[in-house]
Amino acid sequence: MRISKGYWVWGLFPSGETKILNEIKAKVQSKLKSPFFETHITLTGPYSNISETFLSKLKTFVETSSEVMLYVDKYDFNQEMFKSFYISIKNSRHLKELRKNIYELNKFDLENNYSPHISLCYGNHKIKEKKILLSKLPKINKPIKMSKIVLVEVDEDINLWKILESFELN
């Protein structure tokens, strides 16, 4: 069962990557309406609550960690509200390692069939519309740098995705 309220850890991107991703997201959302959300990759969660100890450990961990390169697989879609249309990311060794290290700070369901992706649209949309969009989007030929780790409060019932803390990777 999906938890709709809680806390998640996301990865964010430097301004250059964010600009490109937001342009692609705007193109998608001009055809497929969506609630507003920050362009991100979900790393871990949900957590029902967050302690000051975890925040302190997360901050220390991020400050000693390097930026992570994300390797694009393809554009994809499915019929899940929060995975409606997205950029599929390869689950690289570095990404797995990052998630495992965060898991050591505060346990979560590490074996939850993680499929890394950057959402471009949330919602319930027709498959036909999504298929048409696939051919109209630009190729992403280079890796995407993840430069920040953020803690986010989520309440999907009211479309709330609020960044509470932000930490820069080295």
pLDDT in tens, 138-170: 999 999 999 999 999 999 889 999 999 999 998
* Number of domains into which the chain is organized: 1
Reduce the secondary structure of 131-154 to three states and give it as a string: HHHHCCCCCCCCCEEECEEEEEEE
SS3 state of residue 106: coil
pLDDT in tens, 81-93: 999 999 999 999 9
CA distances from 60 to 7, 18, 95 (A): 19, 25, 18
The per-residue pLDDT for 4 is 83
Instruction: Give the Cα separation of 136 and 155 in Å (integer).
Output: 32
Residues above pLDDT 90, as percent of the chain: 86
Pick the most confident of 14-23, 46-55, 111-120.
14-23
pTM for the full model?
A: 0.93
Domain that holds residue 86: 5-168
When pLDDT is cut at 50, 70 and 90, the band that residue 1 belongs to is low
CATH number at residue 158: 3.90.1140.10
When pLDDT is cut at 50, 70 and 90, the band that residue 99 belongs to is very high
